[in-house]
């Protein structure tokens, strides 16, 4: 399962981590994804949604 939001497409970002002595190593930033039951095309499905989309109301939750 890919770490990508089903609504906005937000995914993993890569970059560099800098230590105090300025040694650079690669690291990743993962989005805060939640597995929720949502209405997709009229049917309830479990999808991965970022918390930004949940908070802004872009997802219609299934009960």
Q: What number of CA atoms fall less than 13 Å from residue 44's CA on the CB side?
A: 6
pLDDT for 34-56, tens place per residue? 999 999 999 999 999 999 999 99
- Helices vs strands, H then E, count in the chain: 1, 4
% of the chain beyond a pLDDT of 90: 95
Total-model pTM:
0.83
- Residue 1: the pLDDT is 66
Q: Is there a contact between 51 and 59 (Cβ–Cβ < 8 Å)?
A: no
- Residue 63: the pLDDT is 80
C-alpha span between 32 and 54 (Å, rounded): 11
Q: Is there a contact between 44 and 35 (Cβ–Cβ < 8 Å)?
A: no
């Amino acid at each position: 399962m890919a770490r990508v939001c089903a609504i906005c497409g937000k995914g993993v970002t890569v970059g560099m981590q800098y230590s105090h002595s300025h040694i650079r190593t690669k690291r990743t930033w993962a989005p805060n994804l939640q597995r929720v039951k949502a209405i997709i095309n009229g049917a309830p499905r479990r999808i991965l949604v970022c918390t930004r989309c949940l908070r802004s109301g872009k997802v219609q939750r299934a009960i």
